[in-house]
Amino acid sequence: MQNKITPFLWFNDNAEEAIDFYNSVFKNGKTLNVTRYGDGAPFPKGTLMSATFELEGQRFMVLNAGPQFKFNEAVSFFVNCATQEEVDELWEKLTAEGGKPGRCGWLKDKFGLSWQIVPAILGELLADKDARKAGKVSEALMRMDKIDVQALKQAYES
């Protein structure tokens, strides 16, 4: 079934590389369709023009359309992780080959797209009714790039 709302990503000329990369990062990634430029197009014939792919059930569309627009932090993709191992794996893969870590679980991948790699337990700890415990978790989080579940739990229990 087609999503009612689908994120649409504008790339200069490397959308196909990005799709391949994202499909390799996420266990449930697949390309659904590809349209290629033909004769007389602004890109060489056969270059990917647009495509639809899916990551963990979320569809995305991409377009190779030139350098007019760049990604920025105003839009990011939030990835809810079940375990520290999942956080570690996605963090490592998404920051590889030129990606850049950021604070509090944020990172930019090698294409400049922003991601938030967050363990599910973070929301639970921050929402605790004990404001002191939640505050300790928040303080610990502010000192982290990649989120460390054990450090969050230690802050919560201190």
DSSP 25-73: HSTTEEEEEEEE--TTSSS-TTSEEEEEEEETTEEEEEEE--TT----T
Q: Average pLDDT in the 148-155 region?
A: 98
Left, alpha or beta for 46 (phi > 0: left; psi -120 to 50: alpha)? left
Q: What mean pLDDT is reported for the chain?
A: 96
Residue 51 confidence (pLDDT) above 90 = yes
How much is the pTM?
0.93
Alpha-carbon gap, residue 29 to 139, rounded angstroms: 35
With bands split at pLDDT 50, 70 and 90, how would you rate the model's confidence at 100? very high
The candidate with the shortest Cα–Cα distance to 34, out of 52, 21, 18, is 52
Residue 1 confidence (pLDDT) above 80 = no
User: What percent of the chain is modeled with pLDDT above 90?
Assistant: 98
